[in-house]
Amino acid sequence: MAPDEPDQTTPSAEPAPEPTPSPEVEATPEQKTAVSSEPVEVPAEPVAEPPPAEGGQQAPA
């Protein structure tokens, strides 16, 4: 009887707050990363290529 009360309160309070912040926090960073990665990766690749090439040539030159 004694462990029944705390047992029900522990699992009831844990699963309640866990599933709420879990999907919300995971979905937020995932969507932002996916949207930021796509537009950032495309322009970052061609833009990052010329700068490193120039800097590398200027250093040895």
Can you tell me which residue has the tokens 């919300």? Answer: 24
The CA-atom distances, in angstroms, between 27 and each of 10, 14, 16 are: 26, 20, 18
How far is Cα 57 from Cα 27, in angstroms, rounded to an integer? 43
pLDDT value of position 16:
52
pLDDT value of position 35:
53
pLDDT value of position 10:
55
The predicted-structure confidence for 6-40, as pLDDT tens digits, reads as follows 555 555 555 555 555 555 555 555 555 555 555 55
pLDDT value of position 58:
60
Rounded to two decimals, the pTM is 0.12
**Boundaries of every domain in the chain:** 4-58
